[in-house]
Amino acid sequence: MKTDGSHPETALTCVEELAERYPDIPVEVIFKEDLLRQGMAWSPSALEIAANFKRKAYFIFSFDMVPISDMEQNEHSKAPEEIRLVGGPYGFNPVVVSVRLNPGSPYRIESEEGALVLKCGSHPIAQVELQEVPAYYRRTLADGKRLPDVIPAIEWGYLLYLTVFRLCQYFSRQQECLYCDINRNYRQHRDAGKPYSPVRPVGEILEALEIIAASDRDSRAYTVTGGSINATLEGKSEIDFYIRYPEAIEKRWPGRWISKIVVQALPKEDVKRLHDVGVQVYHPNFEIWDERIFSLYCPGKAAHIGRNEWIRRILDAAAVFGPARVIPNFVAGVEMAPPAGFQSVDEAIASTAEGLDFFMSRGISPRFTTWCPEPMTLLGSDRKGAPLEYHVRLLRVYRDMRVKYQLAPPIGYGETGLGRAVFSVSSFMDVLPSSGEE
Ligand code: SF4
């Protein structure tokens, strides 16, 4: 097989060869993974059209493959949050893809007679649909802040994203996760004039949600998230800082949305507190299964909590929430990042499959974010993600293991199945059998 180059012909050949080799993974899913891995470029006229739709909010990380200072068309201020690919020569079922900007990508969105088309070189791949701007995106808070700067919606409007702390206290080379640009992304947008503040007050979140609750019918879940707190923030520990948000939201709108939270793996008594205030899904993100690579690429997590303790706490959380409501994220592909990552797809798949098996055999339901090397991260310098074959094989392992352990669809991600899934930063929901949302 030709390897996945960034040249359009090579990229196309690679996708088509994988589609032939793995006919149980739909071709639109393979393209989606390649777009997540390699990003996409935009023509000037396509960008002008996109600027009229819901724009990329940079809700926590950049997920771009160039810093905004290198975006000659100011793509960051015009590109959409997500695109939906349909039709075209391959007859795509709809797939929603997060927009990761990369002017050097073999994939490019162009406009043809006013319609948007995804191309790979000169080859058309699919038609491109964009999401209308939700009515609340045009509203402001009393102090003038724009709603999408406070609570953006992703996953085609399904998920409200509440980044309440835009920095992480793992901030040095010895501590920060090597694939993460949370702190640098905050700084680049602040330097570009975006009205970001590190901490979002609880009152501001409630004010924004009041507007959203009154007008929006698409959002079904919210995630409270942000960087890790290892010392204190505003005098509060990680649990004391973050718990205030779901507590206040669930008091005001009990059960209105599926309530999710991303914080570190916390001791059982803290996890109980989250459960007691109404959090429904807990994401103690594990990121990388392999012990050696976890220690090297997540040095802060390894030093402050440690891998074994992290695992023990995930199991404790399953006893509190019920295993199906504990969903640790894996950064899919980062275990192949040089210099210390696996060098072969076989090794990487074997390792991550072992982690999936460990959790899924206990009813715990991991999920993925497809890794792309963001240039402001310590692993971003070579701008090459894991091979596309890795992502295709991982999706097969994930799908088959869910069947093996008879796991119900993940909670808080919307519908599963090709043409119905809305999760945009990995295809794990696209490859599961179709079902209604829980
Ligand atoms: S814990 Fe790691 S992945 Fe999470 S925000 Fe901090 S540096 Fe990023």
CATH code of the domain in which 335 resides: 3.20.20.70
Check if 209 has its Cβ closer than 6 Å to any atom of ligand 1. Answer: no
For residues 84-100, average pLDDT: 98
414 Cβ contact partners less than 8 Å away, ≥ 6 residues apart: 155, 158, 220, 221, 420, 421, 422, 423, 429, 437
CA torsion, ordered 84, 88, 93, 96, to nearest 10 deg: -20
As given in the structure block, the two tokens for residue 25 are 């993974």
Atom nearest to 168 CA in ligand 1: 6
Number of domains in the chain: 1
User: Which residues, in sequence order, are bridge partners of residue 199?
Assistant: 165
**Which two tokens mark 217?**
């019918």
Residue 92 lies in a domain: no
Q: Residue count of the chain, please give it.
A: 438
| pLDDT for residue 171 | 86
Mean pLDDT, residues 55-84 taken together: 95
Q: Pick the closest to residue 147 from 211, 221, 62, 196 (CA basis).
A: 211
pLDDT by residue (tens digit) across 210-256? 999 999 999 999 999 999 999 999 999 999 999 999 999 999 999 99
Instruction: Read off the pLDDT of residues 136-152 as tens digits, 9 standing for 90 and up.
Output: 999 999 999 999 999 99
At residue 4 the predicted structure's pLDDT band, cuts being 50, 70 and 90, is: low
CB 412 within 8 A of CB 280: yes
In contact, 276 and 287? CB cutoff 8 Å: no
247 part of a folded domain: yes
Pairwise CA distance, residues 425 & 330, whole Å: 12
Cα 180 to ligand 1 centre (Å):
6
- Kindly state whether residue 357 falls inside one of the protein's structural domains: yes
Among 197-201, 220-224, 422-426, whose mean pLDDT is lowest?
197-201
Q: How far is 339 from 296, CA to CA, in rounded Å?
A: 10
**Is residue 354 in some structural domain?**
yes
What mean pLDDT is predicted for residues 292-317? 97
Q: From the CB of 228, is ligand 1 less than 6 Å away?
A: yes
How many Å apart are CA 117 and CA 11, to the nearest integer? 17
Pocket probe mutation, ligand 1, options 180, 266, 369, max atoms within 8 Å of Cβ = 180
**Residue 181 CB–ligand 1 contact under 6 Å:** no
Ligand 1: distance of its center to the CA of 33 in Å? 23
Q: Is the CB of 180 under 6 A from ligand 1?
A: yes
Q: Per-residue pLDDT for 1 more than 70?
A: no
**Which residue has the least CA distance to atom 1 on ligand 1?**
228
Q: Tell me how far apart the alpha carbons of residues 385 and 373 are, in angstroms, rounded to a whole number.
A: 6
Q: How far is the CA of 336 from the centre of ligand 1 (A)?
A: 18
Taking only the tens place, the pLDDT of each residue in 374-383 is: 999 999 987 7
- Helix axis angle for 345-360 and 388-404, nearest 10°, is 30
Ligand 1 site, residue 261, Cβ cutoff 6 A: no
Contact of 50 with 130, CB cutoff 8 Å: yes
Region 167-187 average pLDDT = 92
Report the separation in Å between the CA atom of 312 and the middle of ligand 1, taken as the mean of its atom positions.
20
In ligand 1, which atom is closest to the CA atom of 180?
A: 8
- Does the beta carbon of 176 lie inside 6 Å of ligand 1? yes
Residue 161 amino acid letter: Y
Tell me how far CA of residue 95 lies from CA of 21, 72, 390, 406, 416, in angstroms. 21, 28, 20, 25, 11
What pLDDT is stored for residue 68 in this prediction?
94
Give the domain range for residue 332. 135-367+374-383
Whole-number pLDDT of residue 247: 98
The chain-wide mean pLDDT, for the chain, equals: 95
CB 370, CB 37: distance < 8 Å: yes
Instruction: Give, for 211, the enclosing helix (H) or strand (E).
Output: helix 202-215
Report which of 159, 161, 181 is spatially closest to residue 170, judged by C-alpha positions: 181
What atom in ligand 1 is closest to the CA of residue 226? 5
Backbone angles phi and psi of 426, in degrees to 5: -165, 160
- Domain contains 177: yes
Atom of ligand 1 nearest to the CA of 169: 6
Compute the distance from residue 227 Cα to the ligand 1 centre, in Å.
Answer: 6
Residue 32: strand, helix, or coil: helix
Is 42 within the bounds of a domain? Answer: no
For 259, phi then psi, to 5°, come to -95, 120
Of all protein residues, the one whose alpha carbon is nearest to atom 4 of ligand 1 is 227
Residue 207 lies in a domain: yes
Indicate the range of 4-8, 58-62, 413-417, 434-438 predicted with least confidence: 434-438
- Is pTM beyond 0.95? Reply is yes
In this structure, the strands spanning 92-98 and 82-87 are antiparallel
Does residue 184 sit within a domain? yes
Is any ligand 1 atom within 6 A of the Cβ of residue 38?
A: no
Atom of ligand 1 nearest to the CA of 171: 7
Is residue 147 lining ligand 1, measured as CB closer than 6 Å? no
* Structure tokens, 54: 């819901």
Q: How far is the CA of 92 from the centre of ligand 1 (A)?
A: 35
**Does 159 score more than 50 pLDDT?**
yes
Per-residue model confidence (pLDDT) at position 10: 93
* CA angle, residues 70, 120, 74, in degrees to nearest 5: 20
CB of 177 shorter than 6 A to ligand 1: yes
